[in-house]
Structure 1
Protein backbone atom coordinates (compact mmCIF):
# COMPACT_ATOMS: atom_id res chain seq x y z
CA UNK A 1 0.00 0.00 0.00
CA UNK A 2 0.96 3.60 -0.53
CA UNK A 3 -0.37 5.93 2.17
CA UNK A 4 -1.27 9.53 2.73
CA UNK A 5 -0.87 10.17 6.47
CA UNK A 6 -2.45 13.26 8.01
CA UNK A 7 -1.90 14.40 11.58
CA UNK A 8 -4.27 17.22 12.44
CA UNK A 9 -5.17 19.63 15.22
CA UNK A 10 -8.56 21.30 15.47
CA UNK A 11 -9.25 24.96 14.84
CA UNK A 12 -8.71 26.92 18.06
CA UNK A 13 -12.41 27.71 18.52
CA UNK A 14 -13.52 24.05 18.16
CA UNK A 15 -13.63 21.39 20.86
CA UNK A 16 -11.84 18.09 20.31
CA UNK A 17 -15.21 16.31 20.22
CA UNK A 18 -16.62 18.65 17.57
CA UNK A 19 -13.51 18.23 15.40
CA UNK A 20 -13.54 14.42 15.57
CA UNK A 21 -17.30 14.31 14.86
CA UNK A 22 -16.78 16.54 11.80
CA UNK A 23 -13.76 14.54 10.59
CA UNK A 24 -15.56 11.19 10.91
CA UNK A 25 -18.89 12.61 9.72
CA UNK A 26 -19.22 15.44 7.20
CA UNK A 27 -15.58 15.32 6.08
CA UNK A 28 -15.58 11.53 5.80
CA UNK A 29 -18.60 11.68 3.49
CA UNK A 30 -16.47 13.56 0.94
CA UNK A 31 -13.12 11.88 1.58
CA UNK A 32 -14.36 8.31 1.22
CA UNK A 33 -15.29 9.14 -2.41
CA UNK A 34 -11.64 9.61 -3.44
CA UNK A 35 -10.93 7.50 -6.52
CA UNK A 36 -8.64 4.57 -5.82
CA UNK A 37 -9.00 4.76 -2.03
CA UNK A 38 -8.52 1.19 -0.71
CA UNK A 39 -8.67 1.77 3.05
CA UNK A 40 -8.98 4.61 5.52
CA UNK A 41 -8.11 4.35 9.19
CA UNK A 42 -8.59 7.16 11.66
CA UNK A 43 -7.31 7.55 15.21
CA UNK A 44 -8.97 9.88 17.70
CA UNK A 45 -5.96 11.04 19.73
CA UNK A 46 -6.88 11.28 23.40
CA UNK A 47 -3.46 11.21 25.09
CA UNK A 48 0.05 12.37 24.22
CA UNK A 49 2.83 10.06 25.33
CA UNK A 50 5.17 12.97 25.96
CA UNK A 51 4.94 16.76 26.24
CA UNK A 52 6.42 17.42 22.79
CA UNK A 53 3.62 15.33 21.25
CA UNK A 54 0.75 17.32 22.75
CA UNK A 55 -1.72 19.37 20.75
CA UNK A 56 -2.87 16.88 18.10
CA UNK A 57 -6.46 15.65 17.77
CA UNK A 58 -6.42 12.93 15.14
CA UNK A 59 -4.51 10.88 12.62
CA UNK A 60 -5.77 9.57 9.29
CA UNK A 61 -4.11 6.98 7.08
CA UNK A 62 -5.57 6.86 3.57
CA UNK A 63 -4.29 3.86 1.60
CA UNK A 64 -3.93 3.42 -2.14
CA UNK A 65 -2.44 0.66 -4.29
CA UNK A 66 0.36 2.84 -5.66
CA UNK A 67 1.87 6.33 -5.63
CA UNK A 68 0.24 6.88 -9.02
CA UNK A 69 -3.20 6.07 -7.60
CA UNK A 70 -2.65 8.55 -4.77
CA UNK A 71 -1.53 11.24 -7.23
CA UNK A 72 -4.70 10.63 -9.29
CA UNK A 73 -6.80 11.00 -6.13
CA UNK A 74 -5.03 14.26 -5.24
CA UNK A 75 -5.77 15.59 -8.74
CA UNK A 76 -9.46 14.61 -8.59
CA UNK A 77 -12.56 16.76 -8.14
CA UNK A 78 -13.33 14.68 -5.03
CA UNK A 79 -10.07 15.82 -3.41
CA UNK A 80 -10.78 19.39 -4.45
CA UNK A 81 -14.19 19.22 -2.73
CA UNK A 82 -12.70 17.73 0.46
CA UNK A 83 -10.03 20.45 0.58
CA UNK A 84 -12.64 23.15 -0.10
CA UNK A 85 -14.69 21.85 2.83
CA UNK A 86 -11.69 22.31 5.13
CA UNK A 87 -11.41 25.87 3.83
CA UNK A 88 -9.65 28.21 6.23
CA UNK A 89 -10.40 26.31 9.46
CA UNK A 90 -7.14 27.52 11.03
CA UNK A 91 -6.24 24.12 12.42
CA UNK A 92 -2.79 22.59 11.95
CA UNK A 93 -1.76 19.54 9.98
CA UNK A 94 1.17 17.49 8.87
CA UNK A 95 0.68 15.59 5.61
CA UNK A 96 3.17 12.98 4.41
CA UNK A 97 3.12 10.18 1.85
CA UNK A 98 4.97 6.90 1.72
CA UNK A 99 5.02 3.17 1.20
CA UNK A 100 3.62 0.95 3.96
CA UNK A 101 5.49 -2.05 5.32
CA UNK A 102 3.67 -4.48 7.59
CA UNK A 103 6.03 -5.29 10.45
CA UNK A 104 3.81 -7.42 12.65
CA UNK A 105 0.37 -9.01 12.59
CA UNK A 106 -0.80 -10.57 15.84
Structure 2
Protein backbone atom coordinates (compact mmCIF):
# COMPACT_ATOMS: atom_id res chain seq x y z
CA UNK A 1 0.00 0.00 0.00
CA UNK A 2 0.98 3.64 -0.37
CA UNK A 3 -0.37 6.89 0.97
CA UNK A 4 -0.43 10.54 0.03
CA UNK A 5 -0.82 13.06 2.83
CA UNK A 6 -2.12 16.59 2.23
CA UNK A 7 -1.56 18.90 5.21
CA UNK A 8 -3.58 22.13 4.96
CA UNK A 9 -2.53 25.13 7.05
CA UNK A 10 -5.25 26.99 8.94
CA UNK A 11 -7.02 29.41 6.59
CA UNK A 12 -8.30 32.88 7.45
CA UNK A 13 -11.88 31.59 7.13
CA UNK A 14 -12.04 27.92 8.21
CA UNK A 15 -15.79 27.65 7.51
CA UNK A 16 -15.35 28.84 3.91
CA UNK A 17 -12.42 26.43 3.50
CA UNK A 18 -14.53 23.53 4.74
CA UNK A 19 -17.46 24.39 2.46
CA UNK A 20 -15.21 24.49 -0.60
CA UNK A 21 -13.07 21.53 0.40
CA UNK A 22 -15.94 19.14 1.07
CA UNK A 23 -18.34 20.52 -1.53
CA UNK A 24 -15.94 20.95 -4.45
CA UNK A 25 -12.42 19.61 -3.90
CA UNK A 26 -13.23 16.20 -2.40
CA UNK A 27 -15.54 15.23 -5.30
CA UNK A 28 -12.77 16.22 -7.76
CA UNK A 29 -10.04 14.36 -5.86
CA UNK A 30 -12.15 11.22 -5.40
CA UNK A 31 -12.02 10.75 -9.20
CA UNK A 32 -8.23 10.23 -9.20
CA UNK A 33 -7.59 6.80 -10.75
CA UNK A 34 -6.27 4.19 -8.34
CA UNK A 35 -7.57 5.91 -5.19
CA UNK A 36 -8.64 3.23 -2.70
CA UNK A 37 -9.51 5.26 0.39
CA UNK A 38 -9.83 8.96 1.28
CA UNK A 39 -9.73 9.94 4.96
CA UNK A 40 -9.56 13.36 6.61
CA UNK A 41 -8.84 14.56 10.12
CA UNK A 42 -11.89 15.36 12.20
CA UNK A 43 -11.58 18.32 14.54
CA UNK A 44 -8.47 20.17 15.68
CA UNK A 45 -5.10 18.87 14.58
CA UNK A 46 -2.89 18.73 17.65
CA UNK A 47 0.74 18.10 18.52
CA UNK A 48 2.40 16.91 21.74
CA UNK A 49 3.03 20.61 22.41
CA UNK A 50 -0.56 21.71 21.83
CA UNK A 51 -2.51 23.06 18.88
CA UNK A 52 -0.84 22.89 15.46
CA UNK A 53 -1.06 25.39 12.63
CA UNK A 54 -2.80 22.80 10.44
CA UNK A 55 -6.53 22.92 9.87
CA UNK A 56 -7.02 19.60 8.10
CA UNK A 57 -4.96 16.56 7.10
CA UNK A 58 -6.13 14.29 4.29
CA UNK A 59 -4.79 10.76 3.79
CA UNK A 60 -5.34 9.18 0.38
CA UNK A 61 -4.53 5.47 0.03
CA UNK A 62 -3.43 3.73 -3.16
CA UNK A 63 -2.01 0.28 -3.95
CA UNK A 64 1.52 1.61 -4.62
CA UNK A 65 3.59 4.76 -4.91
CA UNK A 66 3.57 4.18 -8.66
CA UNK A 67 -0.22 4.31 -8.59
CA UNK A 68 -0.06 7.64 -6.75
CA UNK A 69 2.29 9.03 -9.38
CA UNK A 70 0.09 7.74 -12.23
CA UNK A 71 -3.00 9.14 -10.52
CA UNK A 72 -1.42 12.57 -10.11
CA UNK A 73 -0.42 12.62 -13.79
CA UNK A 74 -3.94 11.71 -14.95
CA UNK A 75 -6.39 14.42 -16.06
CA UNK A 76 -8.29 13.88 -12.79
CA UNK A 77 -5.11 14.24 -10.72
CA UNK A 78 -4.12 17.38 -12.60
CA UNK A 79 -7.61 18.81 -12.01
CA UNK A 80 -7.31 18.14 -8.26
CA UNK A 81 -3.86 19.77 -8.17
CA UNK A 82 -5.07 22.81 -10.12
CA UNK A 83 -8.02 23.18 -7.74
CA UNK A 84 -5.69 23.74 -4.75
CA UNK A 85 -5.22 27.36 -5.83
CA UNK A 86 -8.97 27.91 -5.34
CA UNK A 87 -9.03 27.25 -1.59
CA UNK A 88 -5.61 26.41 -0.09
CA UNK A 89 -4.16 29.92 0.00
CA UNK A 90 -2.86 29.47 3.56
CA UNK A 91 -0.63 26.67 2.27
CA UNK A 92 -0.67 22.94 1.72
CA UNK A 93 2.09 20.37 1.93
CA UNK A 94 1.89 17.11 -0.01
CA UNK A 95 3.84 13.95 0.79
CA UNK A 96 3.57 10.45 -0.62
CA UNK A 97 5.23 7.18 0.26
CA UNK A 98 4.95 3.40 0.27
CA UNK A 99 3.90 1.81 3.54
CA UNK A 100 4.72 -1.46 5.29
CA UNK A 101 3.52 -3.20 8.42
CA UNK A 102 6.05 -3.45 11.25
- Note the alpha carbon deviations across 1:74-103, whole angstroms, 9 max, x for none: 101111111222226422122111123456
Structure 2 equivalent of residue 9 of structure 1: 9
Q: Residue 61 of structure 1: CA displacement?
A: 0.5
The CA deviation at 1:18 is 2.0
Aligned equivalent of 2:60: 62
Q: What's the RMSD between the two structures over aligned residues?
A: 2.0
Q: Distance in 2 between matches of 1:80 and 1:10?
A: 24
Consecutive unaligned residues in structure 2, runs of 5 or more: none
Counterpart mapping for 1:21-36 below 5 A: 21-36=19-34
**Are positions 1:93 and 2:92 aligned together?**
yes
* Structure 1 pair 65–81 and aligned structure 2 pair: CA distance change class (3 A): same
Q: Where is the strand percentage greater, Structure 1 or Structure 2?
A: 2
Q: TM-score, normalised by structure 1?
A: 0.79
Q: CA deviation at 1:10?
A: 4.2
Q: Which runs of structure 1 show a deviation greater than 4 angstroms over 4 or more consecutive aligned residues?
A: none
Q: What is the number of equivalent residue pairs in this alignment?
A: 100
